[in-house]
């Protein structure tokens, strides 16, 4: 299995990181905006965002003092596409 796919699956194995991705799927948010939606400290949120960034699931852009994060769904599509081919799984249109 591709190393990046392993990182993606590991990153998505945490419920807090899945919730962060859900927040970011429709909107770009800074760390402080994300923190307001969780009962976690800023360092904990930053850790989760770092894991997601290393897996390629989010991108980040620094603007002034804030860092904004955005969901990168292409990483999931690329990884899952590879795995579907490995297991000979075909996606069928409904």
Q: What is the SS3 assignment for the chain?
A: CCHHHHHHHHHCCCHHHHHHHHHHCCCCEEHHHHHHCCCCCHHHHHHHHHHHHHCCCEEEEEECCEEEEEECHHHHHHHHHHHHHHCCCCCCCC
pLDDT value of position 31:
93
> Sheet of 29-30: strands edge to edge?
29-30, 66-71, 58-63
pLDDT at 38: 92
pLDDT at 91: 57
Instruction: Give mean pLDDT in consecutive 10-residue pieces for the chain, a chain of 94 residues.
Output: 83 96 94 92 96 96 94 85 65 54
pLDDT of amino acid 79: 77
- Check residue 45 and give its pLDDT: 96
| Residue 32: per-residue pLDDT | 92
Fold type of domain 3-86: Arc Repressor Mutant, subunit A (1.10.10)
């Amino acid at each position: 299995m591709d190393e990046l796919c392993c990182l993606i699956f590991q990153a998505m194995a945490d419920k807090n990181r899945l919730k962060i991705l859900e927040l970011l799927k429709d909107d770009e948010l800074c760390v402080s905006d994300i923190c307001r939606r969780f009962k976690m400290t800023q360092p904990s949120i930053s850790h989760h965002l770092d894991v997601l960034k290393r897996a390629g699931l989010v991108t980040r852009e620094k603007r002034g003092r804030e860092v904004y994060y955005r969901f990168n769904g292409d990483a999931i599509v690329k990884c899952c596409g590879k795995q579907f081919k490995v297991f000979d799984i075909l996606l069928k249109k409904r």
